[in-house]
Chains A and B, each alone.
Chain A
Amino acid sequence: MNGRIKILNKKIHVKNEYEGYLYILPWLIGTILFFCYPVYKTVVISLSRITTYTGLVTEWIGLENYKRIFTRDVSFLPNFITVIKDTFINIPLILVFALFIAVIVDKDIKWKGFFRGIFILPFLLGSGYIFKTVIGIEVDEGVTTVSQGINLPAPILAYMGARFTQVIRIFLDRISLILLKSPIQTIVFLGALQSIPVSLYESAKCDGATEWEMFWKITLPSLVNQILFNIIFTLVESFTDLSNPVIDSIMGAWFTDKNYEYTAAMGWVYLLFITLVSAIIFVIWGHMNKTKKEQY
C-alpha cells in the first residue's frame, strides 16, 4: 500500500513538473526570439566579415576581429581598463553609501517620508542620461557641476594650493556621483533593514551590546543576500551606463561607423568579462547559502 502511494505521488510529481514548461512557455519563445538569435548572430558576425549589409550576409574570417582589438586598437584596452578600475572602485563605495543612507533613514527620525523621497530622486530622474546630457552641458565634465552641491569655500582651497584642491575636487566628484547612483541599492537595503526583527536588537541591548557591535553582529549578517543582489545590480548598472567609455565606443561603432563585425567582437570581449565577474559572485552567493543551510 505504502509503495503504491509512493508511486502515485511520483506520478503526480512528474506530471506537475512538466506543467512548469507551460508557465515559462512565453519566456522560452522570448528566449529564442530576443536572446538566442541575436546572441548567435553577434557571435557569427564577430567571427566574420559582412559582405552585404541588407541581409547581414557574412563571410567567415575566424578570429581576425579579436586580434584587431588586442593588437591594433589604441583606445579599447585603455578604456576597458578604466572601466574595470572604475567598477571595482565604485561598487564597494556605492554599497557602503547605500547601506549608510539606509541605516540613517531607518532610524526613528522626523520627516522620514521626506528624506526617503529625496534619496530616491536620482532614480526618478532617469539614471545617467539626464545627468550627462543636461547637467553636463555647462561644463566639460558633467560631474563637476554635481559636486558644486558640496563645494568647499574657495578661500580655503586657494590657501591649500592647486594639487590639494584637485584631489579634493576629484574626491568630492566621485562621492557625489556615487551618491546619485545609489538609490535602488538604498531602497533594497532599507527594505531588508525593516524586516530584521526588533526583538533581536532588544535582546542584544539587554546583553549590553553597543550600537556599533549590533551593526556588525546583527545588521550586516542579515543583509548578506541583499549585498550580493546589490553587487550584481550595481555591476549591471555600471556596465550598461552611458558614461561607460566601452559602451560609448560600442555605440559609436554600431551607429556612426557601421563597423558591425568589429563592434560585435568588442562586445563579446566585454561580455565575457561581465559574465565572468557575475559568475564568480553567483558562485559565492550559492556557496554562502549552502553554508547557511548547513548551519541550521
Chain B
Amino acid sequence: MDRVNAIINKQFRNMKQFNLSLKLNNKNMFNFSKAKVLYYVRRFLLYLLLLDLSYVFIYPVIHMVITSFKNMQDFMDITIRWIPNRVFYENYKLALTLLDYKTGFFNSLIITVLCTTGHLISSSFIGYGFARYKFPGHNFLFGIVILSIIIPVQVIIVPLFYEFTQLFRLLDSRIPIILPTFFGYGLRGGLYVFLFRQYFINLPKELEEAAKIDGCGKIRTHFKIILPVAASVCMVTVVLSMVWHWNDHFEPRVYLFTPKKQTLMHGLPKLFADLEKIKESLLSGDKSKVTFSDEMAEKFLKEVSINAVLMAAVNVSILPVLIVYSFLQKKFVQGIESAGIKG
C-alpha cells in the first residue's frame, strides 16, 4: 500500500512540475503570433468604437444632469463646461414646486397604468383573433390596422377632439386618452396588435386545442394559457406602451386643460413659459404672480437660470420611467429576442 502511495505521490509531483513549467513557458512567451496581435488590435478598436458611440448617446443625459446643478455664475463662467463650482440644489426645489410634481406624477401614473393595461388586454385579444381565424375580410381588416399605425394622429386630431367633446360630452377628462387603448387604438395601438398577431401566427395550435378538450372556456384559455405563452410580447407591449405614454405630451395637451389634470410631460413647456413670466414680473417689481417667498424670489433673480430649472424639471419627470425601465430592461430585451418581430 505504501509503495502504491509513494508512486502516486511521485506521479503527482511530476504532474505539478510539468504544469508549472508550462505556466512559466507561457509567461515567457513574448513572441505573439500575427493573428493574436491582430485580434487584440481589433478588440481595442471595437471597444474604442463602443465607448465613442456610447458617448454620443450618453452626452444629452450628462448635459442635462450637469446643467440642472448649475447656477447663474456657472453659466457666465466660460471656463466651466462640465463641472460646476458647487452643486446647486435650488433648481430642483424650484422645479418641483413650480411643476406641481405630486399631482403631475399621479396624473401621469394614472394615464400610463390604465393605458398600458388597455393596450395589453385589447391588443392580445385582437392580435389573437387576426392570427387564428380566417374570417371573411380578415386581410382587408388587417390592412386597416396597418393604416391606423401609419396615419399620424395629428392629421385626424380635430375631428377626434370634436367627437369626444361635443358628441360624448367629455370635456377636460382623461377618458379620451384612456378609452381608445381598450379598443386597440390610442397611442400606436395598431403596432401592438401587429406584434401580437405576428407572434400568434407562428405559434402552434395544439395548446389551445388541448385546453378546449379539457373544457376550458375561451376567456379562461386566453388569460391562463395564451397570455403566459406570449409573455415576451406582453413584456414588449408593456414597456413600449408605458414609456410612450409617460413621455407623450401631445394627447394630454389636446384633451386636458385644467392644471389639476396636467401630466408631467404636459407641464414642461408650460413651466418654461411660467418661469419667463415670473422672471419678468420680478424684474418689473410686481410680485403678484410669484408664489414663493421673498427670500426665494431674491435668489431666483440673482442666481437661478431658467435653463437649469428646466433641465432639473426634465430630469425629475423622466426619472420614474428610468427607474421602472432599469428593472424591466433585461426582460424587455429578452422579450424582443424571443418575440422575434417577424413578417
Q: Which residues of A contact B (CB under 8 A)?
A: 16-24, 26-31, 33-35, 37-39, 41-42, 45, 54-56, 101, 104-105, 107, 109, 113, 115-127, 129-131, 133-135, 137-138, 145-146, 148-150, 176, 179-180, 184, 187-188, 190-192, 194-195, 224-226, 228-229, 232-233, 235-236, 239-240, 247, 250-251, 254, 260, 263-264, 267-268, 270-271, 274-275, 278, 282, 285, 288-289
Contact B58 A121 (CB under 8 A): yes
The smallest beta-carbon distance between B343 and chain A, in angstroms, is 4
Cβ contacts under 8 Å, B8 to chain A? none
Bound-state Cα–Cα, A125 to B62, Å: 12
Cβ contacts under 8 Å, B126 to chain A? 23-24, 26-27
The smallest beta-carbon distance between A183 and chain B, in angstroms, is 9
Most chain A beta carbons < 10 A, residue from B56, B59, B311: B56
A–B Cβ pairs within 8 angstroms, 5 of them:
A21-B133, A28-B141, A133-B268, A225-B343, A239-B150
Known: A117-B329, A137-B307, A278-B150. A191 touches B339 (CB 8 A): yes
Main secondary structure of the interface of A (DSSP, over half): helix
CB nearest neighbor in A for B141 = A24
Known: A26-B122, A27-B183. A247 touches B154 (CB 8 A): yes
Q: Does B282 contact A (CB under 8 A)?
A: no
Contact A42 B272 (CB under 8 A): no
User: Chain B 122-137, CB within 8 Å of chain A: the 1/0 string?
Assistant: 1001101110111110
Contact of B249 among A118, A129, A195, A235 (CB under 8 A): A129
Contact B134 A17 (CB under 8 A): yes
Contact A191 B122 (CB under 8 A): no
Bound-state Cα–Cα, A179 to B59, Å: 12
Known: A180-B60, A247-B152. A254 touches B130 (CB 8 A): no
Contact B185 A191 (CB under 8 A): no
Cβ contacts under 8 Å, B102 to chain A? none
Q: Could you say which of B17-25, B87-95, B158-166 contacts chain A?
A: B158-166
Q: How many residues of B contact A (CB 8 A)?
A: 88
Cβ contacts under 8 Å, A226 to chain B? 341
Cβ contacts under 8 Å, B184 to chain A? 26-27, 30
Contact B336 A190 (CB under 8 A): yes
CB nearest neighbor in B for A235 = B150
Main secondary structure of the interface of B (DSSP, over half): helix
Bound-state Cα–Cα, A20 to B138, Å: 9
Contact B318 A133 (CB under 8 A): no
CB nearest neighbor in B for A225 = B343
Bound-state Cα–Cα, A271 to B337, Å: 33
Q: Could you say which of B27-35, B44-52, B109-117, B289-297 contacts chain A?
A: B44-52
Known: A126-B265, A150-B56, A282-B146. A45 touches B336 (CB 8 A): no
Closest CB pairs A-B (n = 8): A20-B133, A30-B183, A23-B129, A126-B247, A149-B59, A225-B343, A267-B155, A41-B159
Most chain B beta carbons < 10 A, residue from A18, A109, A124: A124
Contact B57 A118 (CB under 8 A): yes
The smallest beta-carbon distance between A6 and chain B, in angstroms, is 18
Contact A239 B152 (CB under 8 A): yes
Contact B318 A124 (CB under 8 A): yes
Contact A121 B57 (CB under 8 A): yes
Bound-state Cα–Cα, A254 to B314, Å: 27
Q: Does B330 contact A (CB under 8 A)?
A: yes
Contact A251 B154 (CB under 8 A): yes
Contact A267 B156 (CB under 8 A): yes
Contact A123 B243 (CB under 8 A): yes
CB nearest neighbor in A for B126 = A27
The smallest beta-carbon distance between A232 and chain B, in angstroms, is 8
Q: Does B64 contact A (CB under 8 A)?
A: yes
Bound-state Cα–Cα, A121 to B333, Å: 13
Contact A27 B343 (CB under 8 A): no
Contact B59 A146 (CB under 8 A): yes
Q: Does B13 contact A (CB under 8 A)?
A: no
CB nearest neighbor in B for A35 = B148
